[in-house]
Copies of this chain bind each other. A is one copy, B any other.
Amino acid sequence: MSPVSKGVVIALAGHESRSRAGRPRRADARRNYEQLVKQARIAFAEFGVDASLDEIARRAGVAGGTLYRHFPTRLDLIEAVLAEQIAELVDLGRGLLTVEDDFDALSTWLRAALTHALTYRGLAAAVMNSALDRGNGLVSTWHAEMFEVGAALLARARQSGVVVAYADEADVLKMVGAIAWAAQDAPDSSAQADRLLALLMNGLRYVGLPHQTGD
Q: Please list the residues of chain A having a beta carbon within 8 angstroms of any beta carbon in chain B.
A: 101, 103-104, 129-130, 132-133, 135, 162, 164, 166-168, 171-172, 174-175, 177-179, 181-183, 185-187, 192, 195-196, 198-205, 207-208, 210-211, 213
A207 near B210 with CB under 8 A, answer yes
Closest CB-CB distance, A60 to chain B, in whole Å?
Answer: 26
- CA A202 – CA B202 in complex, angstroms? 8
New A-B pairs, 4, CB < 8 Å, besides A178-B179, A181-B182: A132-B186, A174-B196, A203-B203, A207-B208
Closest CB-CB distance, A115 to chain B, in whole Å?
Answer: 17
List 16 A-B residue pairs with CB atoms under 8 Å apart, sorted by A's residue number: A101-B213, A129-B185, A164-B202, A166-B195, A167-B199, A171-B192, A171-B199, A174-B183, A175-B179, A175-B182, A178-B181, A202-B210, A203-B203, A203-B204, A207-B211, A208-B208
Chain B residues with CB under 8 A of A130: 185
When C-beta atoms are compared, the residue in chain B nearest to A186 turns out to be: B133
Closest CB-CB distance, A195 to chain B, in whole Å?
Answer: 5
Closest CB-CB distance, A103 to chain B, in whole Å?
Answer: 7
Q: How many copies does the complex hold?
A: 2
Chain B residues with CB under 8 A of A204: 199, 203
**Contact of A104 with B213 at beta-carbon distance under 8 Å, contacts A171-B192, A181-B178, A192-B171 already known:** yes
Chain B residues with CB under 8 A of A202: 164, 203, 210
When C-beta atoms are compared, the residue in chain B nearest to A135 turns out to be: B187
When C-beta atoms are compared, the residue in chain B nearest to A101 turns out to be: B213
Chain B residues with CB under 8 A of A103: 213
When C-beta atoms are compared, the residue in chain B nearest to A167 turns out to be: B199
Closest CB-CB distance, A180 to chain B, in whole Å?
Answer: 9
